[in-house]
Amino acid sequence: MKVLSIIIPSYNTSSFMDRSLRTFIDNRLNGRVELLIVNDGSKDDTSKKAHGYETKHPDLIRVIDKENGGHGSVINRGAQEAKGKYIKVVDGDDWVETDNLVKLVDALEACESDVVLNPYYTVDVSNNDKKKFIDLPVKKSEYKFEDISDKIAQFQIHTMTIKTDILRKVRLTENCFYEDFQYDLFPVPYVETVRVLNFPVYDYLIGQKSQSVSDQSVLKNHLMEQKILFDSIKYYSEVKNSLNNEKKKFFIKNICTLSRQAYNIYLRNYKAPDSYREFKKFDQRYKKASPYFYRETSEANKYIEFTRKGGIFAFNLTGKMLKAYKSIK
């Protein structure tokens, strides 16, 4: 068995491949790591280029070609194909700190924790500004989930390395953006121990126009975000009876955060045509789908309750305030 399987979701990532893959190719990883380049129906020469790397590095790289099904489908497929004890996901336009990846694999060899967390770097595409992101508690190397859940806001795909057996127990929504929320949250029922390693492994490229987190992009894809939200609420209803109180709190906190983001899509784009009408439509749908989380979201975010009750005046005012807050943050 390999120590670590690294799933590399790849859709039209040919132009990023050389920079990304060279950070994984290191003799210290031979025999211990596999790279699963999952080509998600790319229309450029991603597949051809990936197979070229596979030919040169057959003991390290394996290419999986599949029809396009979105990021979630890539992770679902990769988890089933993985031969490693652990899985890490690194997007095709991102890369790793090679020496720190070796340190991570060294640690994983003797590790039995369900999840391992590392900080990561963000790299701004416009100026190559590199910043360490996220501070993790490091008073001890391993925590019970219950002892760390109130110290971290959420798991994040860029920080996580997870046991393969656990990831195989969940299935992410396919043909949809924003499923990384589910990747971060859905394994929680099966996670008992968390190890913290305070060195960055992942380099996350930010500032690209094509990324799905800009205000305009999320407005365009708002129905996908809602699908992730409602699928996640459904999943919580299926597993909640098996969760202890700390895990329930963790789920509720994270689903309320996603709910807030769903509302903010419309508020940050308050000037866009039909934005208020779509806000009201979503609000009514949410109230019907989950009265419990509808109320919890209001309790955690009073400005949403204000906007719900205040009509278009409150909608525009809140939108202006959110835009101003984002510009100075």
Cβ contact 23:6 at 8 Å:
no
CATH class of the structural domain 2-206 = alpha beta
**How is the beta sheet containing 2-10 ordered, strand by strand?**
61-66, 33-40, 2-10, 84-89, 160-163, 115-117, 193-196, 142-144
DSSP assignments along 142-191, one per residue? EEEHHHHTTTSS---TTTEEEEHHHHTT--PPSS-S-THHHHHHTTGGG-
Whether residue 143 contacts residue 226, with contact meaning beta carbons closer than 8 Å, is answered with: no
| Stretch 26-37: mean pLDDT | 97
Claim: this prediction has a pTM higher than 0.85: yes
Tell me the three state secondary structure of residue 97.
coil
Residue 128's pLDDT is 84
pLDDT band with cut points at 50, 70 and 90 for residue 328: very low
Place of tokens 């700390």: 246
Whole-number Å distance between alpha carbons of 261 and 266: 9
For the chain, the structural domain boundaries read: 2-206, 215-328
Q: Summarize pLDDT for 220-247 with one digit per residue, the tens.
A: 788 999 999 999 999 999 999 999 999 9
Torsion angles phi and psi, residue 38, rounded to 5? -100, 105
Give the Cα separation of 28 and 126 in Å (integer): 33
**Average pLDDT of the chain, as a whole number:** 92
The model's pLDDT over 42-86, given as tens digits with 9 standing for 90+, comes to 999 999 999 999 999 999 999 999 999 999 999 999 999 999 999
Instruction: Name the strands in the sheet holding 202-206, side by side, starting at the edge strand that comes first in the sequence.
Output: 95-96, 202-206, 120-124, 130-133
